[in-house]
Structure 1
Amino acid sequence: MKYIYNLAFKMAVSATIALIIAELLNLDYATVAAVIAILSIQDTRKKALVIGKNRVLACLIGLALSIIIYNFIGHNSIGFGVFLIIFIPLTSKLKVEEGMIATVVLSTHLLVASNITLIMLKNELLLMFIGIGIASIANLFMPSLEDSFKDDREQIENSFRIIISRMSKSLITHSVDIYEQKLMDEIEENLKESKNRAYKIVNNNFFNRSSYYIDYINMRINQFDIIKKMRIHFEKFYMSFEQTKLIAEFTNNVAENITEDNDCKELMKNVLLLREEFKGMELPKSRDEFENRAQLLQFLNDIEEFLNLKRNFAITYIDNKNKTLE
């Protein structure tokens, strides 16, 4: 069953069926229907629908131009050149470039004919509709990517937990895990793959237009950018204070609560409580202590921004969902 989702398999089957139908109808140039079917196979339903529409529009425009130009200039190389000079820029202007190649092929059939008849036009239109029609049916069979995205989500969240948990330890030890950069590279690659999968999920579903998958992965990508900023602070941390321990404990608490359904309300409240507690603590005694504590507070600002991104996401998806269930 999994083969039905494979692009190469769908291309082969669609081309074969399109050719068989075209031959059964005794169409001239039947193999063109097979080529159009191959060109019309796409990796998402939305993309297939858009390209199919563009290809039909380009074909109708191209055939109309062919009739006018070949009848006035002649069925010769000059006529074909004029057709291309007009048609190619026109497809670009109308944003239907996907139909250019197939239409040019259909136009050559009219070019080599001594006279353009309704039967010939019917032949070209049927070649196009058979190729696009069979491919459209094949494009309905798309793999469900929700489970794969769920696995991506769990892996991303687990990686975030690990990296932020290590940061909480580094605040105390002033040392960075040697495998941290490897983990960062893996997270970045996973985020790219997950974003691609998110767009495919949305573009494969015509009825549910929720942008949850895209919004979720964009939120995690923005959080990852903040994690990169947080790492930079460790280049300047070399002193420990009372605040260091408090922020380290809070950072570890953040790491433990990185989950899809966490709305970050309590964590955001804890940030405010930490700030209030810091205000009552003794002021820095030296320039070095001042600079290190300033970096520590900036680190806390970054954590707050990290949480705020998830909080905004939660307001849209988690809080509204809970209200609906109440």
Structure 2
Amino acid sequence: MKNTIYLTMKITIGALAAIISAKSLGLDFYMSAGVITMLSLLEIKRKSLFFGFQRLYTGVIAISIASLFLYITSFSIWGFGFYLLIFIPVVLKLDARAGLVVNTVLASHIYDIGRVDIYVIFNEMSLLFIGIAVALVLNLHVPIYEDKIRDIMKETDETFKETLDLMASCLESRCKIEGVSSNIAKLRSLIAEGLDKSYEYINSYYFKTEDYYSRYFSMRKSQVGRMRYMQEHCKNVFTTLEEAKPLAEFTYEVSREFNEENPGTDLLLRIEGLREKYKNSPLPATRDEFENRAVLFQFLNDLEEFIRIKAEFLASSDSVQNIA
């Protein structure tokens, strides 16, 4: 709702500013400047600069073609038809569709005026320039997306920690997990919202290229997928607390050290020690013990991959910063 109100106010202010500017300059068809601003503001900010450039250079082409054919045909409707037959293929060939409709409206002004001179050409190009310029200026204002994104990140990380604690508790007490499924559903919802806000954030800049937040939430999304496997392993009941307890304690450690900056390298080293401990423990004596040992190893492997996903993300982030 806030975004709708913001965009409504932005478009309204932009359209009025363009119309008033064009009218104050004594331009004909000054309302068209407002329409051009509206179209430009409806586009993603990152693309509005590119589309604005498209409209400008195709505007020169459109006015040139329209002026020629309308003049030759004494400003008849056939001249406008010839203009369309030439201009449309040119725009499509240049892959500059953003300039098609807007500049055809400008060409129709020449048809309505019924003459071609310096003033008419200046009038149409001025309308185009004012409409685009006002939109680009208004797009310099960036809504505060980052604070909201950081809030979502914080809530996401807290939910991860809570879920890991629940899993550790299950391993420790050999109970069924309560609340993990709802937590995973909550994580998916938070991550989806975080990704949406991240895309809005990066698209609110003209030239920003480093997209840390969307990559961060994509990384967390991968971790949720791995956590889903861990949940399945935890559904099994372990016959001996002694075997499950070391893994439960380690899962608690992962939860305590879970934060945005922790690369998890120490945790990965500790996993190797834990794996060796299990390998050196007495062999299972029964089928149930064997199956439970296998489940513990599966949980440990998934937990390792869970941590490794974060480590690789931070390593790639450092690489991006070094390149930049």
TM-score bin, normalised by smaller chain: 0.7 to 0.9
Cα distance in structure 2, aligned partners of 1:234 and 1:82: 72
Which stretch of structure 1 is more off in the superposition, 307-316 or 254-263?
A: 307-316
Q: CA 1:68–1:191 in structure 2 vs 1: closer, same or farther (change >3 Å)?
A: farther
Where does structure 2 lack aligned partners over 5 or more consecutive residues?
none
2:174 aligned partner: 173
2:108 aligned partner: 108
Q: CA deviation at 1:78?
A: 5.1
Q: In structure 2, what residue type is equivalent to 1:175?
A: K
2:253 aligned partner: 253
Q: In structure 2, what residue type is equivalent to 1:144?
A: I
Q: For 1:68-100, what per-residue CA distance to the aligned partner results, in whole angstroms no more than 9, with x for missing partners?
A: 554567755555455445545654553433333
Q: CA 1:279–1:18 in structure 2 vs 1: closer, same or farther (change >3 Å)?
A: same
2:219 aligned partner: 219
Aligned residues: 318
2:22 aligned partner: 22
Asked if the contact 2:66/2:110 (under 8 Å) is kept, the reply is yes
Which stretch of structure 1 is more off in the superposition, 288-297 or 26-35?
A: 288-297
Q: CA 1:101–1:208 in structure 2 vs 1: closer, same or farther (change >3 Å)?
A: closer
Where does structure 1 lack aligned partners over 5 or more consecutive residues?
none
Q: CA deviation at 1:42?
A: 5.0
Q: CA 1:78–1:253 in structure 2 vs 1: closer, same or farther (change >3 Å)?
A: farther
Asked if the contact 1:164/1:251 (under 8 Å) is kept, the reply is yes
Cα distance in structure 1, aligned partners of 2:245 and 2:17: 69
Which stretch of structure 1 is more off in the superposition, 271-280 or 83-92?
A: 83-92
Q: CA 1:99–1:192 in structure 2 vs 1: closer, same or farther (change >3 Å)?
A: farther
Q: CA 1:61–1:274 in structure 2 vs 1: closer, same or farther (change >3 Å)?
A: farther
Cα distance in structure 2, aligned partners of 1:110 and 1:97: 21
Q: In structure 2, what residue type is equivalent to 1:51?
A: F
TM-score, scaled relative to structure 2:
0.85
Cα distance in structure 1, aligned partners of 2:193 and 2:221: 12
Q: For 1:113-153, what per-residue CA distance to the aligned partner results, in whole angstroms no more than 9, with x for missing partners?
A: 43433322221111111111111111111123222222111
Q: CA deviation at 1:279?
A: 0.9
Q: CA deviation at 1:156?
A: 0.8
Residues 1:188 and 2:160 aligned together:
no
Q: For 1:174-200, what per-residue CA distance to the aligned partner results, in whole angstroms no more than 9, with x for missing partners?
A: 4121x4333322222221221222233
Q: In structure 2, what residue type is equivalent to 1:130?
A: I
Q: In structure 2, what residue type is equivalent to 1:176?
A: I
Which stretch of structure 1 is more off in the superposition, 79-88 or 270-279?
A: 79-88
Tell me, what secondary structure is at the counterpart of 2:261?
Answer: coil
Cα distance in structure 2, aligned partners of 1:182 and 1:58: 54
Q: CA deviation at 1:11?
A: 1.0
Q: CA deviation at 1:246?
A: 1.6
User: Over aligned residue pairs, what C-alpha RMSD do you find?
Assistant: 3.0
Cα distance in structure 1, aligned partners of 2:88 and 2:320: 49
Q: CA 1:133–1:169 in structure 2 vs 1: closer, same or farther (change >3 Å)?
A: same
